[in-house]
Chains A and B, each alone.
Chain A
Amino acid sequence: MRNRFADTVYQLGLEDQRVCVVVADISPAGSIVRFQREFPERFINCGVAEATMIGIAAGLAMRGLRPFCYSIATFSLYRPFEMVRVDLCYQNLPVTVVGMGAGVIYSNLGGTHHAMEDIAVASAIPNMTVLAPCDPEEMGLATRWCATESAGPVYMRLGKIGEANLTANAVAPFVPGKIRYLQRGSDVAILSYGITVAMAFEISHNLMAKGISVSVLSCHTIKPLDKEGILQILHSHKRVVVLEEHVPHGGLGSRVKEIAWDARADCQLQSFSLKDEFIVCYGSHEELLCAHGLTVKSVLEKLL
Chain B
Amino acid sequence: MIKDILPMSIIAEGSRVPHKFDIAASRLRCLNYRKRILEVSQQVAALHIGGAFSALEMIDCIYHGLMNRDSNNGSSFDTFILSKGHAGIAQYVVLENLGILSRTDLDLYCKPNGILGCHPDFGVPGIEASTGSLAHGLGLSVGMAHADRLLKADRKIYLLMSDGELQEGSVWESMMMGANLGLKNLVAFLDHNGFQSSGRTRDNHPKFYPIREKVEAFGWECLEVNGHDTDAIYRAVLNRKGDSPFLLICNTVKGRGVSYMEDEPIWHFRSPNFEEYEQALKELEKKYNEK
Specify whether A and B are partners.
yes
Interface centre among A42, A52, A59, A64, by most B CB within 10 Å?
A59
Inter-subunit contact B130/A46 (CB<8 Å): no
CB <8 Å contact, A52 and B144: no
Instruction: Assess the A56–B177 pair: CB atoms within 8 A.
Output: yes
**B148 nearest CB neighbor, chain A only:** A63
Binding site for A on B (CB under 8 A): 122, 128-130, 133, 136, 138-151, 153, 169-170, 173-174, 176-177, 181
A interface residues, tally (CB under 8 Å): 26
The 7 closest A-B pairs by CB, nearest first: A55-B139, A59-B143, A63-B147, A49-B173, A51-B170, A56-B143, A52-B173
Closest to A41 in B: B150
B103 CB to nearest A CB, Å: 27
- Indicate the member of B138, B142, B147, B170 with the most A CB atoms within 10 Å: B147
Q: When the two chains form their complex, are residues A87 and B139 in contact, meaning their CB atoms are under 8 A apart?
A: yes
> A62-B128, A91-B122 given as contacts; is B144 within 8 A of A55 (CB)?
no
- B149 CB to nearest chain A CB (Å): 8
4 more CB-based (< 8 A) A-B contacts, given A49-B174, A51-B169, A55-B143: A47-B176, A52-B142, A56-B174, A58-B143
Q: Chain B contact residues: over half helix, strand or loop, or mixed?
A: helix
- Give the residues in chain B near A87, CB-CB below 8 Å: 136, 139-140
* Interface: A65 (CB within 8 A): yes
| Contact between B173 and A51, CB atoms less than 8 A apart | yes
- A59 near B150 with CB under 8 A, answer no
Q: Which of B148, B151, B177 contacts A52 (CB 8 A)?
A: B177
In the complex, chain A residues 28-70 whose Cβ is within 8 Å of any chain B Cβ: 41-42, 44, 46-47, 49, 51-52, 54-65
Cβ of A82 under 8 Å from chain B: yes
- The answer to the question of A6 belonging to the interface, with a C-beta cut-off of 8 Å to chain B, is no
Q: Which residues of B contact A56 (CB under 8 A)?
A: 139-140, 142-143, 146, 174, 177
Known: A62-B128, A87-B139. A55 touches B147 (CB 8 A): no
